[in-house]
Structure 1
Amino acid sequence: MYSKTKWIWTFSLLVSLVMILGACSDSSNKGSSNAGGGKTNQPQAQNGESDNSGSVTEPALAAPVTIKHLKGELTLESVPKKIVVLDVQYADQMLALGFQPAGSVIAETDNGLPPYLGDKMGNIPLLGTYIEPNLEGIIAIEPDLIIATEFHDDIYEDLLKIAPTITLERNEDWRTVLLKFGQILNKPQEAQALVDGYKQKISDLKAALADKMKGQTVALIRPRDEMIRLQTTSHRTSQILYDDLGLTPPKMAVNSKDSSMMISLEVIPELAADHLFLLQDETNLELTTEFQNTSIWKSMSAVKENQVYEENTAQWIGYYGPIAINLIVDQIAEALN
């Protein structure tokens, strides 16, 4: 009913429409003398737009916007042309709105840029990891704005010496963050359209799965450290399953305080999940295979019913921008339909 191809096509169409709307808006405003009439350039562009007098104008916001963040507030008079992001999820946010960061840290989970982004990041400078950003590399870019998280509190003052810095909560809901990027990049309507598109997408999938999944439980697990990590109802990705799509968690996974818990292989049958999303990557492939070869694993109903779905760890728990989140929903749809 809702194949992976269909979902990806739907999201791609939405992004294309957003970019077309933005392009039309830029074209219609070009040369305008009011505050909102400046053309919004890509952040990596080095020059503003020339007016009829030959002077160069900076990309303008419809009005100065004030962004609230963990360290207070920052007022922007124009669209930053060179934005450095210290978490890859923010690169996803920018790309979804048709912009490219001027520099980004890499994802430790992939030891590089996320594969799902393909070549969308181009050849931008890579600036270490989000845990250890390369300050010299950031200085070399001469950014107009830095987007950081609370993980960078110890270098916050150093970042401020380089450029204005916005600090966001790393686990903040991606939709809230996207709307903030809409303000920063002068794309508020486009950001809202993406949020609304996701809302409609999960609403459709939720309706499609309602009858089939009635009375069925779904769990998200990740073998590691000789144990199995169960992602609870508090986990960001689990919330897609349980909050957004209305799927039912096993009782063991219900936890309002801790986003995960470790259980042993011997305990996992007590989870009694009808469907298992199994997160895998190079770091746990050997352990996962070891577990899968045991009689305990083979005795689980989800295994017997062929209702275990292997997904990429980094894709599911490493990235929280709209592009990544929509791909996760596509994979859920493909698995459960």
Structure 2
Amino acid sequence: MLLYIVFAQKDCFMYKHIFSRMVLVLLLVIVITNVVNAQQNTCQTGFRLIAHAMGEACVSEDVQRVVVLEWSYVEDVLALGVMPVGVADIDGYNNWVKIEPQLDPTVVDVGTRQEPNLEVIASLNPDLIIAPSFRVANNYEALRAIAPILVFDAYPTEISHYDEMLNTFTTIAVALNRQAQAESVLSQMQAYFASANQALVDAGRANETFILAQTFLHSDVPTFRLFTDNSLAVQVLTQIGLTNAWDDAPQQYGYTTVNFEAFADIGDTNFFYIAQPDYQSALVVSPLWTALPFVNSDHAYWLGGDVWLFGGPLSMQVLVDTVLDAMGISPVVTNTCATDFRLVIDAMGEGVCVPQNPKRVVALSELDIDALLALGIQPVAVTNGRGQTTPPRYLSQYLGTDVVSTGTFYQPNLEIILAQNPDLILFAGFTDADVLSQLNAIAPVFNAATPAESWQTHLTRVGEVFNMQAEADSLIQAYDARIAHLRDSLADAIGDEFVVVRWSAEGPQMMASRVISIRVLTDLGLVLPTNIPDLQDGHAHTPPLSLEKLDIVDVDWVFIGTLAGEGDAVDALQSALQTPLFQSLDIVKNNRYFLIDGSIWTSLGGYLGVMTILDDIQTIIIERTNS
């Protein structure tokens, strides 16, 4: 379905923005409807059929482990709050794609985009692979034998590359069950485009012409890619109110490759170009360059050497920001909030109107509770700790006696929250659209972090909400200083392997890389075993292990705890510790296992949590090692 929208007046960009949000919602509905219509009992229970550029795939309804073979789709996955387990050419991605969030260090490089390593991909046990059609024609069947694969045509001829970006992003969102995040990301993108347009209007530069180019040396000849109207980047710059002056016919890859001769008939225009720094230095002194009209008029704008023009919604915002910055223009951030409120951007890029001075705050994740208490703010109500029937055990000493429990993280009690009359609700990482809608009817809801982001990023955003950025920065610096000090004390252990084990009534589970203690231990220089795929990012933890397989935890250092302080899990752990199988492990013989508080070591937390863990490490590792 193609929608053509015509606006007659130049000053109606806000109406275009509002209507764009409606179109984005409609686009998501269309994609979801197509998926539903495709399902004709061709997939087993728990999977759904999704059409793509090279066929159809039965994709799990609970995708956890994604391998991505093209940078644009890596960006899409990250923008939706999902950290892939494998990515092609990570160094190249990091060099070119400048967005937040960034790839986690635990993500595995699976080879080049042109020739990914199939063995490495298979070893990651993915449940979804995402790739472009122009790169996987020769190995499509081999990849499909590893896991379901979604293939996209990055350079279609029947629609613009911008429309293809939207279609691909929304399809990936459906495959990952991230439709709400997709709507938020695309809405924020449109809002940013609207602010950029307003900034151009205010600067008196709206409707100016431009040419967008990449330039480089090819066989020692200065070569230029001039982008055509169907390209993604040109479509974006057109949306913010500029007009493309390069009128060549649309090209498959969205650009025409030319040399200096093509500039003979080009007059003055805004010439935005990307060039590597060393080539840029030589280009600007070339007589052919200095003779060009747009150079003489100071309308040639170097955008740097690493602006990514083939990405997704986040890269397009970076492009707009880079272009405006080169022009000396700042985007206008419009605060549409009521009096006594201000606009703060949350983890999903969504603007939230928060009170100027929040007084009654409800915290619905461990991260939120931790951040508030670390900043000296007492919430009126908080979630229970995961696997616990009370607020997080490790935070009990900091919470006021009158704080109210709202129930579990996944099912907060809305009546209890409403009764607290909150003026702000913090809910990091939660994505259930129905629950969020009901919470927003009670008070503004602010999401301070996606599941892939660090506690430091979360704390920084919470600090911004409460105008306590300096205090948040100070806490992060204190953590960094403590890590540096303890690394010196642990110098002999750097590079050692470790596991953190949560013991449940069903057996031991090894925790994966997003758990807070894992981040602390890796900051200290210890490493997770690489031979256990479930410990890589994308999993919360391994399935419960039988006692007969306990030898898999027999690494250099082992930390064992339970979520609850009493009950079946504690009894099961105490019983297991006495078994001959456990007593035969090298970690027991070498005194290298430690009993820890699983409510923090095997869950989520923030500054107070990591400092508690560092206290434990100083006590149980360093003192034992030195004794």
Q: Does the Cα contact within 8 Å between 1:86 and 1:105 map onto a contact in 2? A: yes
Residues in 1 aligned to 2:515 and 2:394: alpha-carbon distance in whole angstroms: 22
Alignment partner of 1:293 is 2:578: yes
2:363 alignment partner, one of 85, 96, 99: 85
Residues in 1 aligned to 2:494 and 2:474: alpha-carbon distance in whole angstroms: 31
1:6 matched residue in structure 2: none
Q: Does the Cα contact within 8 Å between 2:361 and 2:379 map onto a contact in 1? A: yes
Q: Which has the higher contact order (CA 8 A, sep 6+)?
A: 1
Relative to the length of structure 2, the TM-score reads 0.41
Q: Does the Cα contact within 8 Å between 1:222 and 1:228 map onto a contact in 2? A: yes
Aligned pairs for 1:1-337 (under 5 A) are: 64-70=342-348, 72-76=350-354, 78-117=356-395, 118=397, 120-148=399-427, 149-169=429-449, 171=451, 172-211=453-492, 213-214=493-494, 216-242=496-522, 244-253=523-532, 255-262=536-543, 263-280=545-562, 281=564, 282=566, 283-337=568-622
Aligned pairs, how many?
275
2:174 matched residue in structure 1: none
- In the alignment, structure 1 segments of 5+ residues that lack a partner are 1-58
Relative to the length of structure 1, the TM-score reads 0.73
Q: Does the Cα contact within 8 Å between 2:362 and 2:422 map onto a contact in 1? A: yes
Residues in 2 aligned to 1:233 and 1:133: alpha-carbon distance in whole angstroms: 26
Change (3 A) 1:258 1:293: same
Residues in 2 aligned to 1:335 and 1:204: alpha-carbon distance in whole angstroms: 16
1:21 matched residue in structure 2: none
Change (3 A) 1:125 1:266: closer
Let me know the Cα RMSD of the aligned residues: 2.5
Deviations 1:275-331 (A, max 9, x none): 210113433122223322222211111101222100121121234121122101111
Residues in 1 aligned to 2:385 and 2:552: alpha-carbon distance in whole angstroms: 34
Residues in 1 aligned to 2:467 and 2:508: alpha-carbon distance in whole angstroms: 44
SS in 2 for 1:220: strand
Residues in 2 aligned to 1:256 and 1:170: alpha-carbon distance in whole angstroms: 14
Shift of 1:257: 3.5
Aligned-partner residue type, residue 558 of structure 2: L
State the structure with more CA Rg: 2
312-321 or 112-121: bigger deviation: 112-121
Change (3 A) 1:95 1:226: closer
SS in 2 for 1:261: coil
Query: Which structure features the higher share of strand residues?
Result: 1
Identity among equivalent pairs (%): 26
- In the alignment, structure 2 segments of 5+ residues that lack a partner are 1-338, 623-627
Change (3 A) 1:193 1:159: same
Q: Does the Cα contact within 8 Å between 1:179 and 1:188 map onto a contact in 2? A: yes
SS in 1 for 2:387: coil
Change (3 A) 1:104 1:129: same
Change (3 A) 1:151 1:76: closer
User: Could you list the runs of 4 or more consecutive aligned residues of structure 1 that deviate by over 4 angstroms after TM superposition?
Assistant: none
Change (3 A) 1:170 1:285: farther
Q: Does the Cα contact within 8 Å between 1:150 and 1:169 map onto a contact in 2? A: no
